[in-house]
């Protein structure tokens, strides 16, 4: 995980992987229904994304990108 900046809250640091859905529902589906459990698990794995650990938005961008550098400069202005 690279250093990122959040476009929503201005957080600078490491991003966090967030997975949509519920582990509880996934376990129930696996215990009672094999095929829906498999489909749900695949869906959860494909919806994983890097997010801001502070505000949970998916609007994080690398600091070393041109937009990231501009945002960082804007935040650090007095």
Q: What is the DSSP string of 23-54?
A: HHHHHHHHHH-HHHHHHHHHHHHHT-EEE-TT
Say how many C-beta atoms besides its own lie within 10 A of residue 5's C-beta.
25
Q: Express each pLDDT in 6-26 by its tens digit.
A: 888 888 889 989 888 899 999
The residues of the chain scoring below 70 in pLDDT are: 1-2, 78
For helices 34-46 and 23-32, the axis angle rounded to 10 degrees is: 150
Give the global pTM.
0.65
- Sketch the domain layout of the chain as residue ranges: 3-76
CB burial class (10 A; 0-12, 13-18, 19+) of residue 75? exposed
């Amino acid at each position: 995980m690279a250093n990122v900046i959040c476009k929503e809250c201005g957080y600078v640091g490491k991003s966090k992987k967030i997975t949509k859905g519920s582990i509880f529902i996934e376990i129930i589906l696996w215990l009672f229904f094999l095929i829906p459990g498999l489909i749900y698990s695949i869906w959860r794995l494909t919806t994983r994304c890097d997010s801001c650990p502070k505000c949970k938005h998916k609007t994080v961008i690398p600091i070393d990108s041109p937009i990231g550098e501009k945002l960082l400069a804007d935040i650090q202005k007095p």
